[in-house]
Structure 1
Amino acid sequence: MSDLHARHRKVLPDWLALYYEDPLEITHGEGRHVWDAEGNKYLDFFGGILTTMTAHALPEVTKAVSEQAGRIIHSSTLYLNRPMVDLAERIAHVSGIPDARVFFTTSGTEANDTALMLATTHRRSNTVLAMRNSYHGRSFSAVGITGNRGWSPTSLSPLQTLYVHGGVRGRGPFAGLGDAEFIEACVEDLKDLLGHTRPPAALIAEPIQGVGGFTSPPDGLYAAFREVLNAYGILWIADEVQTGWGRTGEHFWGWQAHGRSGPPDIVTFAKGIGNGMSIGGVIARSEIMNCLDANSISTFGGTQVTMAAGLANLSYLLEHDLQGNARRVGGLLIERLRAVAAQDPGVREVRGRGLMIGVELTKPGTDLADPDRAAAVLEAARAGGLLIGKGGGHDTSALRIAPPLSLTVAEAEEGAAILEGALRSTQ
């Protein structure tokens, strides 16, 4: 055990998990690669849990942070803040929400917490609909709406949460139905649920479930849900912490795959917009955002140095069409991995879109999760020079692949070859 690992275990919580039997210390990165303390180089297919969205050490972001830090790092939301207003204007413009207001936080957890406060205050209800297998953060309220047992350490909550079918297409009571029938069954289940309770404040949903293993419903499910929700005045919160900013390739926001009824009432974001800097936030119609009747601030939300990073990062993403790159390179990578999976009886499914790809592992010939193999593949991929993630609602048996959106075709092929070798070596 390394000295750093021993020190980590002595002073940090036991529940603060580390990947790998011999945990990795990443010391620096560039582009789509990172290096560890021993000088080993890795192709990064997880990007700090989907946070390094454009590239490691992106010069444009590094320059913006350095220049802003040389002027002032922080003054709080109690003062006018030009970088915060600049970024809020850009985000409001690309949000698709009319008369949008933006509130900045430091994380996705805090963003979802704020969205729940807005929705419950606006609707005067503490009942919330959430999806099974979902994950929305680690605060008390966010844990209370998380539908993934592995990330829910307590059943205590300030909210009454009702869980809805539909976030996982390939498992559950409706898995055997066609897409249209699946949506219809989930909608009927939602209608039945609403017939037995007082109207909830909101439905919160990830368009693609991140920690849940990159699972998603058929396109159009949330639009169909929205028609039911509108009849009750229930708000729709889209948790775009992992799906936002073009990662799915086909759309800038994940909700747009379900958007025939218009944008959500509230959108939350974080992770990729800061490219490693701590930025989260909430976008909502003004009538919802302005419903609070007491003072509220975020000490570190919107601080100048993180806003400078977000502006530079978003500009780079848009100017270099990284959404289009995610669509093109991600499509090639998914097809390459599906070809590999066809030769492996332990791969149940390769799913996702753009550069957000899940590979679910099960024990051959069954639907039983295989978390031991998932852990073994993670180790083998690292040995081959590739970093990936894992997740899932069934004992963490899904591999999670989410490289920076600037990934090249050559790097996608290299990563797929390493992962193929890791899968073969663990069969």
Structure 2
Amino acid sequence: MTARAALADTGGVMEQVILAVVIAVIALAAVSGLVIGSRKKKRLPPAPPSSPSVTAPPAEPHVGEEAEPTLEEPRRTIEEVDLPVTEAPPAPTVPAQPEAPAIEVPEPTAGRLVRLRARLARSQTTLGKGLLTLLSREHLDEETWEEIEDTLLTADVGVAPTQELVERLRERVRVLGTRSPEELRGLLRAELLQLIGTEADRTVHTESGVGVNGEEKPGVVMVVGVNGTGKTTTTGKLARVLVADGKSVVLGAADTFRAAAADQLQTWGERVGARTVRGPEGGDPASVAFDAVKEGIAEGADVVLVDTAGRLHTKTGLMDELGKVKRVVEKHGAVDEVLLVLDATTGQNGLVQARVFAEVVDITGIVLTKLDGTAKGGIVVAVQRELGVPVKLVGLGEGADDLAPFEPEAFVDALIGD
């Protein structure tokens, strides 16, 4: 092979290679164009759907175009303009506090029995006016004197006091001779006063004293009695009597066995501003009484009233516990008063209770309740004779201020009338 022929073959091969490269480039360019074209089509946003309700925004004005004239509207004065109403924010809700009970001012005790005289007189006509009617007879024979005796016994005066009174009346009538109504009334009044007694000390002793440790001790009053006599109510009313006399009082709810006794006493105390010391229901009464006196000493109170449980006089164990209460209280100092509350309507049955209580604790005074009802006025005489202690207070109704210091003169005047 010659050089020319070899060169010619080489040139043909190169042309074929170049041609193949050109074809490949063209093919590659075509493929690239197709890919780029498809990508550009995908990036175009979709055409908005044609809807008759969608309106195109107004064209913006161009430079040189005149603006449309502004329409003149009628202007309102400031009075015609309604300003927006601003509502005040609601006030914060404050929880309601329970109101403290109002402190009452008890009725003065001076002359209280006189003011209650009419209430007492309505229920005592059998004794006073009955005696006057009998004594006014022209001839006082034995039958009349027996009727006088029966009248006194029916009024619960008692056998021995009745016999004494009849004997004195017989003697006075014999000496007096002629008897006018005024003379008879004066005679009967004098004899009844002598029978009841005017010399006894009927003061409820509540003076402060000296305790066992030398400290000043308030006056201590124990209130005892059988259930149903009005003992707790009497204790509350006695607190009112003492407050009316200007004394500060602490109440001891030592009746821990009767349901709601402490609540009842506390209600009475709150009405006059007296604090009540109480313990758990069914707790030790002596402990409550001891704490009440202790609190009275700490507060500098004038008087401590201790309401004890209403002991049934037939239950020896309970009566012994009443004696324990008194002994425990005396660890602070002496007890100034032990008041026995008796229901005046029970008559002679109340004397049985009085005897048993007197054996357990030293009774210093008597409180007769319900004397305005069906009670017989003679029980005042009988109970004093039985115990040898005076009646110091009488209950003449259900009102808060119906407990009155006993005054023999006012009592007898109510019995015999005007």
Output the TM-score relative to the length of structure 1. 0.31
Q: Which structure shows the higher helix fraction?
A: 2
Q: Which structure shows the higher strand fraction?
A: 1
Output the TM-score relative to the length of structure 2. 0.32
